[in-house]
Amino acid sequence: MTTTGLFQIALYLAVLLLLVKPLGSFMARVYRFQPLFGLDLALGPIEHLTYKLCGVRKDDEQNWKTYALSCLAFNLLGVLAVYVLQRVQTMLPLNPAAMSAVSPDSSFNTATSFATNTNWQGYVGESTMSYLTQMLGLTVQNFVSAATGMAVLAALIRGIARKTTDKLGSFWVDLTRSTLYILLPLSALLAIVLLWQGVPQTFSKYKTANVLQPSSYTTPHLDKDNTPVKDAKGNPVMDTVNVATQSIAVGPVASQIAIKQLGTNGGGFFNVNSAHPLENPTGLSNFLEVLAILLIPAALCYTFGLMVGDKRQGWTVLAAMVIIFLALVIPCVHFEQSGNPTLNALADQHETALQPGGNMEGKEARLGPINSAIWAVATTGASNGSVNSMHDSFTPLGGLCPLWMIQLSEVVFGGVGSGLYGMLIYVIVAVFIAGLMVGRTPEYLGKKIESYEMKMAAIIVLVPPALCLIGTAIACVSPAGLLGPSNPGIHGFSEMLYGMSSQGNNNGSAFAGLNANTPFYNLLGGILMLFSRYWIVVPTLAIAGSLARKKLIPASAGTLPTHTPLFVFLLVSTVILVGALTFLPALALGPIVEHLKLIGL
């Protein structure tokens, strides 16, 4: 790895960690109903109007079951709304490109995808969705699915911090406040900066531009069934296509990009996501966008520490996340910078003043391998799923890093809210084993971890790997599934594994190379996303409810300290070990064997 690589990683983490404390304490104020430096005065009327319109009483706290039901009902409504919007978008305004109605299976997949904060995109944004669908359906879900995750986290934290109560707060209030005071202001801020950097924000039609150098190419002539027509000799009939103009897709991009990054959504306005020059035009926009991916998840750790009354606990969890992040981003940058060994004889892949070097397939020349690799690991760690390069084209081990990052159940930063509550479940598992090793019934922050919590934690830890493994198993032996991968053999397996892992963990990034917009993959993926989100949300809230009811045990010298480097090590080991034990055989059949073959040549 070059010094540029190290410097980029260091700069990225330094800026990220600097922002943790200010944003984290601000968010804690949001969930503790403390003054928000004037923001509450400005937006307070909207907040109260929302409650009034929805018939919500601000101080009406819910127990875990009501909280979970509210959350599920709200999300179900979200799925339905996005589904219907896509199906009837032809009849609705703001459709200048005259997009037709989206197919039922794709609509289902996209609806679940955006409601579950996965933002897997089987469709091509600029040629499928009307502006209205993008804004009212997708962008709204970008906000509320993120806010849902934050609300569930707030409930879990309250469950840990409170004692002998069954009240966890109100889902509706947490949802509203997360959106209004955290996501909206931050997105507005980021959107404005992105606008300045050249990201469009418009309702106008797609632009047509003359290309600098008109060209032509030939393509097989297709008949009605999309099969190439052959002449009498059996050779394909070719058509010549002249290219003099191009259509440039635009739209209300900046607003969606801001929230897709901040809300760990990742669903791009354009198909190639942040590799598109209009989504991510400059080096600064790239830095800010990748920063936005991890910003809220990282800062929430500090919020957690504040809310449980022990900031060290938040730093501990954050430290574990940073360590795993480093453990994967460094090799990823390394392998991408090292380039493809088979090309060594043909080209110089070293970094020079004129070229970034490394493996440039599938990467933007503007961004290079380092920024692509950092983005890849951040976006998969954070359940964001936006991309600025094509992970499918990474070197086998370089691609293994983002793939495995997803398979670690999206707890390394993870989705906004969902990442931290997922990590806290791993904390509970780590505390359980470590607690036994010091000879006490395990306890975390004064709460005893008993069989009920273990039962729920086991479900939570079990669900994502189960979904990925079973999903991939179905895909790789069913005829419909085998049509998906665009590469044969090992890489095809990686493509399926990545696609199923991405949806089974609510990440949403695509390895690309998997043609997933088929009824088979749309349905399978939709089911994976639903299970992965809600089979974790409900047990998490159940744990929150159970912890809230417990007594608070004062800490003593016999209590396992959960703020030490040793505990960080334990937590990291737990996450890594579960991830490794679950996925090592599958990875061996994908990236690992691919790498061994590559270096064996």
Partner 1 sequence: MSSAKARPLFDLPIVKRAIVDSFTKLNPRHQLRNPVMFVVFLGSILTTGLYVHALTGQGEAKPSFILGVTLWLWFTVLFANFAEAMAEGRGKAQADTLRKARRDTPAKKLSAPSRDAQQSSVSAATLRKGDLVLCEPGDYIPADGEVADGVASVDESAITGESAPVIRESGGDRSSVTGGTRVLSDWLVIRIGVNPGEAFLDRMISMVEGAKRQKTPNEIALNILLAGFTIVCLLAVVTLMPYSIYAANSVNVALIAASQPATAAPVTTTILVALLVCLIPTTIGGLLSAIGIAGMDRMIQKNVIAMSGRAVEAAGDVDVLLLDKTGTITLGNRQAVAFHPSNGTHERDVADAAQLSSLADETPEGRSVVVLAKEKYGIRDRQIHEMGAHFVPFTAQTRMSGVNFDHRMIRKGAAAAIEAHVQSLGGEFPAEVQATVEAISRQGGTPLVVADGPKVLGTIELKDIVKGGIKERFAELRAMGIKTVMITGDNPLTAAAIAAEAGVDDFLAQATPEAKLKLIRDYQAGGRLVAMTGDGTYDAPALAQADVAVAMNTGTQAAKEAGNMVDLDSNPTKLIEVVETGKQLLMTRGSLTTFSIANDVSKYFAIIPVMFASTYPVLGKLNIMHLSPGTAVLSALIFNALIIIALIPIALRGVKYRPKPASVLLWNNILVYGIGGLIIPFIGIKAIDLLVNLV
Quick check: 552 binds partner 1 (CB under 8 A)?
yes
Query: According to the binding rule CB under 8 A, does residue 488 interact with partner 1?
Result: yes
Among 77, 101, 243, 437, binds partner 1 (CB under 8 A): 437
80 binds partner 1 (CB under 8 A): no
Closest distance between partner 1 and the C-beta of residue 61, in Å? 23
Q: How far apart are CA 106 and CA 402, in angstroms?
A: 25
DSSP-derived letter for residue 343 is G
Q: Which of 476, 480, 523, 527 binds partner 1 (CB under 8 A)?
A: 476
Q: What is the SS3 assignment for 327?
A: helix
CB 201 within 8 A of CB 252: yes
**What is the enclosing helix (H) or strand (E) of 5?**
helix 3-31
* Nearer of residues 154 and 572 to partner 1, judged by Cβ: 572
Site for partner 1 contains 438 (CB under 8 A) = yes
600 binds partner 1 (CB under 8 A): yes
In the block, which residue shows the tokens 């359980």?
432
Q: Which residue has the tokens 């359906």?
A: 137
Confirm or reject binding of residue 557 to partner 1 (CB under 8 A).
yes
The answer to whether 462 contacts partner 1 (rule: CB under 8 A) is yes
Decide if 445 contacts 160 (C-beta within 8 A).
Answer: yes
In 10 A of CB 549, how many CB atoms? 16
d(CA 363, CA 512): 13
Under the criterion CB under 8 A, does residue 13 sit at the interface with partner 1?
Answer: no
Residue 236 binds to partner 1 (criterion: CB under 8 A): no
Query: Least distance to partner 1 from the beta carbon of 99, Å?
Result: 36
Q: Could you tell me whether strands 443-444 and 447-448 are parallel, antiparallel, or unpaired per DSSP bridges?
A: antiparallel
Q: Which is nearer to partner 1, 292 or 516 (CB)?
A: 516
Q: What's the one-letter identity of residue 66? A: T
Stretch that binds partner 1, among 69-77, 239-247, 353-361, 474-482 (CB under 8 A): 474-482
The CA distances from residue 42 to 39, 56, 86, in Å, are 5, 20, 34
Among 280, 285, 286, 472, contact with partner 1 (rule: CB under 8 A): 472
C-alpha distances in Å from residue 79, one per residue of 127, 140, 180, 413: 21, 11, 21, 25
Stretch that binds partner 1, among 305-313, 408-416, 535-543, 571-579 (CB under 8 A): 571-579
DSSP helix, strand, coil percent of the chain (3-state; round to 5): 65, 5, 30
E-assigned strand segments in 418-472: 443-444, 447-448
Q: Which residue matches tokens 């300045």?
A: 196
Q: Indicate which single residue of 461, 528, 543, 575 sits in contact with partner 1 (rule: CB under 8 A).
A: 461
398 binds partner 1 per the rule CB under 8 A: no
The secondary structure of residue 225, as a DSSP letter, is: T
Q: Does 584 engage in binding with partner 1 (CB under 8 A)?
A: yes
| Contact set for partner 1, span 149-168 (CB under 8 A) | 163
**Can you tell me which residue has the tokens 């419909």?**
480
Stretch that binds partner 1, among 332-340, 399-407, 501-509, 565-573 (CB under 8 A): 565-573
Q: Which amino acid is at 567?
A: F
List of residues 6+ apart from 127 with CB closer than 8 A: 97, 99, 249, 271
3-state secondary structure string across 52-111: HHHCCCCCCCCCHHHHHHHHHHHHHHHHHHHHHHHHCHHHCCCCCCCCCCCCHHHHHHHH
432 binds partner 1 per the rule CB under 8 A: yes
Least distance between partner 1 and beta carbon 344 (Å): 20
For residues 296 and 586, which CB has a smaller minimum distance to partner 1 in the complex?
586
For partner 1, the closer of residues 304 and 493 by Cβ is 493
Between 289 and 495, CB nearer to partner 1: 495
Q: Taking CB under 8 A as the rule, does residue 582 contact partner 1?
A: yes
- Please identify, among the stretches 10-18, 414-422, 508-516, 574-582, the one whose residues bind partner 1 according to the rule CB under 8 A: 574-582
Q: Which of 434, 445, 510, 543 binds partner 1 (CB under 8 A)?
A: 434
Pick the binder of partner 1 from 156, 322, 459, 544 (CB under 8 A).
Answer: 459
Interface positions with partner 1 (CB under 8 A): 163, 429, 432-441, 446, 449-451, 453-455, 457-459, 461-462, 465-466, 469-470, 472-474, 476-477, 482, 488-490, 492-493, 551-554, 556-561, 564, 566, 569-570, 573, 577-578, 580-586, 588-589, 592-593, 596-597, 600
